Structure 1
Amino acid sequence: MEIWAVTNGRMGIPELVDVLLLVEPAIDAFILRETTKTDKEIVEAIRRLKEAGCDEEKIIVHNRPDIAVMTGIRRVQIPGYGLPLGQLKLQYPSLLFGRSVHSLAEAEMAYTHGADWLLYGHLFQTASKQGKVPRGTDELFRMVQAIPIPIYAIGGIRPEHLPLLEKSDLAGIALMSAIFSESTAEEAVAPYRDQLFRGKVESTWRK
């Protein structure tokens, strides 16, 4: 099971790059979700990460396939409100696309339209989704059984949830508040790694 990080858009580019470089050895991928940043700022962040030696296979661009192509990144996370996957796959055949989904029906549609992976949430109560009812694990587990592509879960996941999640064929978890709301992001990842891996496993994206 993999650990992904999702950035929260609250850091300036220098701080964001520094934090990602710190946590990069401990995670399998991160979604660069910087919705308030300009195109120039996002490109600059990716440039700095690559120049500092970040494994570019770990970088996933949020909702901007054009920026992914421009910067040589091959994975893009499309939100539920994003452009149709079929259209994107035709326009950007060299890219891999994930879709954020919130139900089994959405997941089935995304799979039919060519999604390479799915991100489902929010699973548990989380600071980034105040006032919204968490979706829990029942539908997630049905989704994992029904759809034959990697499925990741996000939303309020704590280390104590991992034994339950490991019982399914879930591809991994994605963390936002758990990492980027902590004073030391690198240390925030450690309890998850300790619980899941007892030493890191090879990423399914680097076979």
Structure 2
Amino acid sequence: MTMRLVVITQPGFGAGEAETIRELLDGGIDRVHLRKPFAPEAAMRRLLDRLDPAVLPRITLQDCLGLAAEYGAGGVHLNARHPEPPQGFRGLVSRSCHSLEELEEHAADDYLFLSPIFDSISKVGYTARFTAESLLEAAARGIVNDRVLALGGVRPEYLPRIRAYGFGGAALMGCIWQAADAGTLSATLGAIRKYRNEE
């Protein structure tokens, strides 16, 4: 089974962000999560208005969830700020989890993030919470499965290990935006495609 790969945006709004999102989706990323904590709705609308309508089904909103149906976004992501999907929403529902118990509690959601799996690239002091042994045991029990994505410190070269731990994919953040800032995003996407297919 092909790994599901998601990119989470930076919290701020950046110049050329809509174009970068298109590059990500064209370059092998399955979904982009717009994570903009406490963003004004007007700012989120400006970003959504810049996106090609054809890519909106592959966009998940982590904030301003009420805009999902209006814009045709394909998913909403639940967390402490937004614990419930908008009433009547019919797209994908994902959720952030930080323990194996949370994974079990929310097993009915379409897919789940478990974090932090590795030491964070973008958050200082946000270190890995799970051992390889605990993840392999959770996979053997069916708690970590193809609907659970590894989050936290994920780099392209870690994808084979993530697959071996039993995850169905990964969510990337720091390695993507560092590459975008450095002008090396296409090389990073090439590495992702390479490692995604390695056993």
Answer with 145-154 or 61-70: which moved more.
Answer: 145-154
Structure 1 equivalent of residue 102 of structure 2: 106
Name the structure 1 match of 2:36: 34
Residue in 1 that maps onto 2:12: 10
Match of 2:24 in 1: 23
After superposition, give the CA deviation of every residue in 1:2-22 in whole Å (9 maximum; x if it has no partner): 22111012343x421121122
What secondary structure does 1:146 align onto?
coil
Root-mean-square deviation (CA), in Å? 2.3
Q: Deviations over 1:54-91 (max 9, x none)?
A: x2221111133201112111301112x13444xx37x2
Which has more helix, going by share of residues?
A: 1
Relative to structure 1, the CA distance from residue 93 to residue 24 in structure 2 (aligned partners, 3 Å threshold; closer, same or farther) is closer
Higher RCO structure (Cα 8 Å, ≥6 apart): 1
Partner of 1:82: 81
Shift of residue 194 of structure 1? 0.8
**Residue 155 (structure 2) pairs with residue 158 (structure 1):** yes
One-letter code of the match for 1:66? G
CA offsets per residue over residues 147-198 of structure 1, 9 Å max, x none?
Answer: 6661111111223322222224422111100001121323222211111137
Per the alignment, do residues 75 and 173 of structure 1 end up closer, same or farther by CA in structure 2, a change over 3 Å counting?
A: same
CA 1:178–1:58 in structure 2 vs 1: closer, same or farther (change >3 Å)? Answer: same
Aligned residue for 2:129, secondary structure, equals: coil
- Using structure 1 for the length normalisation, give the TM-score: 0.80
Partner of 1:172: 169
Question: Do the aligned partners of residues 95 and 64 (structure 1) sit closer, same or farther apart at CA in structure 2, a change above 3 Å counting?
Answer: farther
Query: How far 1:141 moved relative to its partner?
Result: 4.0
Give TM-score, length-normalised by structure 2.
0.83
Question: Runs of 4+ in structure 1 displaced over 3 angstroms?
Answer: 82-85, 136-144
Where does residue 116 of structure 1 map in the other structure? 110
The aligned residue for residue 72 of structure 2 is 72
Letter in 2 for 1:122: P
The Cα shift of 1:47 comes to 2.1
Identity over the aligned pairs, expressed in percent? 24
Q: Structure 2 counterpart of 1:97, which letter?
A: V
Gaps of 5+ in 1: 199-207
Shift in alpha-carbon separation, 1:39–1:5, aligned structure 2, 3 A: same
1:42 alignment partner, SS class:
helix
Residue from 101, 125, 129 that aligns with 1:131: 125
Show CA shifts across 1:28-57 (max 9, x none).
Answer: 111011225321121221221125x4x222
- TM-aligned CA distance change 1:123 to 1:42, over 3 Å: same
Find the aligned partners of 2:43 and 2:137 in 1 and give their Cα distance. 39
